[in-house]
Amino acid sequence: MTNEKLELFFDKLTKFIDEEKLIKLILSSKKDKASDLKNITISIVKLKKGLFLSFVLRHNTNDITKNYDFKEGKDLIKQYLKDKFYNAEAFSNDENLILTSTKKGVFSLKTKKASLKPKMTFSHDKPKNKLIKTQNNIYLKELGITTSEDTVIPSKTDKYRQINRYVELLVPYLNHIKWNDALHIVDMGSGKGYLTFALYDYIQNTLDKNIKMTGVEFREGLVNICNDIAKKSNFDNLNFIEGTIEKAKINNIDVLIALHACDTATDEAIFRGISSNASLIVCAPCCHKQIRKELNVTNELNHIVKHGILKERQAEIITDTLRALIMEAFGYKTKIFEFISTNHTPKNLMIVGEKTTIDENKKKTILKDISNLKNIYGIKKHYLETLLKI
């Protein structure tokens, strides 16, 4: 009976896929607890070459998307279930299937009524007006997002969508800034430069504004690669330097960007933005560890932090709330919103601060609110407070 349940599951799953009725398949409960791979979400997508199975492999620090034809994809699913995961849950237009297995390889299968809205069409590559054009775009080719024929590589569709969404989100805030030729935008922790290049491209070639832009990255190899791509793209005022958020030697920062800076590195980025009196600070925080360690709740709220996962989520909310309040105390109008869908990464919040003015009474009120919030959760100090010497 052990393999009969598995084979029945795959028979039904194959039918869901072949009849284009699969909405979503989730592989979970990893067999190797030390593995960096947490789970996999699989769905049907429509690309220019036809229908494919899109695998989103969720790791601790990043997500990887890969597309396979139906045959190869089904073989991979079966292999993943045999070697990597204990459980699978398939959602289709007709019904849901829940496959579970034990460490001894005994499978069980349950069937439930369909719970998700039927998927009628597959529009993974639905044409939209993109802010970042693919035609004759050198850096997109060099970064492996487009082919030599200027089409987006299927496995990079999510990345292309992400950079367009990123630019789309920042445009309204950039338009609020009093622009001058000396405007300096600094991207802290620029990595491979996907978003840095896209923003520079849009400002220079679409907004037709002159800027100076600096990408800061501690890995020398990436710095060299990005500078080479900038040169090939004729992006004369875009430069990448080796350094860290805390120690990079940069002056006159007008716009500071730090995406997915880990733990207190986000606070160091905000500190540099505030210290430079930047007109705009944009952060997408990641790995909220500092406040989680400091939580010492002795009141009735202790129930929401006694479970590990809830404590982690609560620490993230408190951390970013305090960051926003501290920025407001220093004269920034803040907004927190979803940067990209949780389908891509759970670390998807963006904090944006626009420089305004603030009177002393308002500042004192905000600082009191910060103190009260910390007292509720038994927090002694937020790291950003330490940097700003509050």
Percent of the chain residues past pLDDT 70, beyond the cut: 94
In this structure, the answer to whether residues 109 and 145 fall within a common structural domain is: no
Structural domain that includes position 344: 138-388
**Residue where the block lists tokens 């002159």:** 210
Nearest to 357 by CA among 389, 381, 333: 333
Tens digits of residue pLDDT in 260-307: 878 788 999 999 999 999 999 999 888 788 888 888 888 888 888 888
Q: Are residues 100 and 146 in the same domain?
A: no
Same domain, 106 and 229: no
Is 119 contained in some domain? no
- Domain end (from 113, 128, 155): 113
**Rounded CA separation 387/371 (Å):** 16
For residue 223, the SS3 value is helix
- Among 113, 130, 149, residue at a domain's last position: 113
| 65 φ, ψ (degrees, to nearest 5) | -110, 130
Q: Are residues 384 and 235 in the same domain?
A: yes
Same-domain check for residues 190 and 237: yes
Mapped onto helix, strand or coil, the DSSP state of residue 356 is: coil
121 in a domain, yes or no?
A: no
Tokens 């060099």 -> residue: 142
pLDDT digits (tens, 9 = 90+) for 200-230: 999 988 888 888 999 999 999 999 999 999 9
Q: Is residue 284 part of a domain?
A: yes
pLDDT above 50: residue 126: no
Is residue 72's pLDDT more than 50?
A: yes
Residues 301 and 261 in one domain: yes
Strands (E), the chain: 22-30, 37-47, 50-59, 63-68, 85-92, 95-101, 107-113, 184-188, 212-217, 238-242, 255-262, 280-286, 332-338, 349-355
- Residue 233 structure tokens: 């793209």
* Residue 131 within a domain: no
One-letter identity of residue 252: N
Q: Using pLDDT thresholds of 50, 70 and 90, give the confidence band for residue 132.
A: very high
pLDDT, tens digit, for every residue of 337-381? 887 654 444 457 899 999 998 889 999 999 999 999 999 989 999
Total count of domains within the chain? 2
Residues 143 and 74 in one domain: no
Residues 198, 99 share a domain: no
On whether residue 126 sits in a domain, the answer given is no
Residue 31 shares a structural domain with residue 102: yes
**Residue 164 CA: distances (Å) to CA of 111, 137, 160, 170, 227:** 40, 14, 6, 10, 22
Whether 66 and 176 map to the same domain: the answer is no
Residues 332 and 384 reside in one and the same domain: yes
Q: Is 129 inside any structural domain?
A: no
CA–centroid distance for 329 within its chain:
27
Whether residue 125 lies inside any domain: the answer is no
Whether 346 and 226 map to the same domain: the answer is yes
Q: What dihedral do alpha carbons 8, 12, 15, 17 form, nearest 10°?
A: -110
How are beta strands 85-92 and 22-30 bridged, if at all? antiparallel
CATH number at residue 164: 3.40.50.150
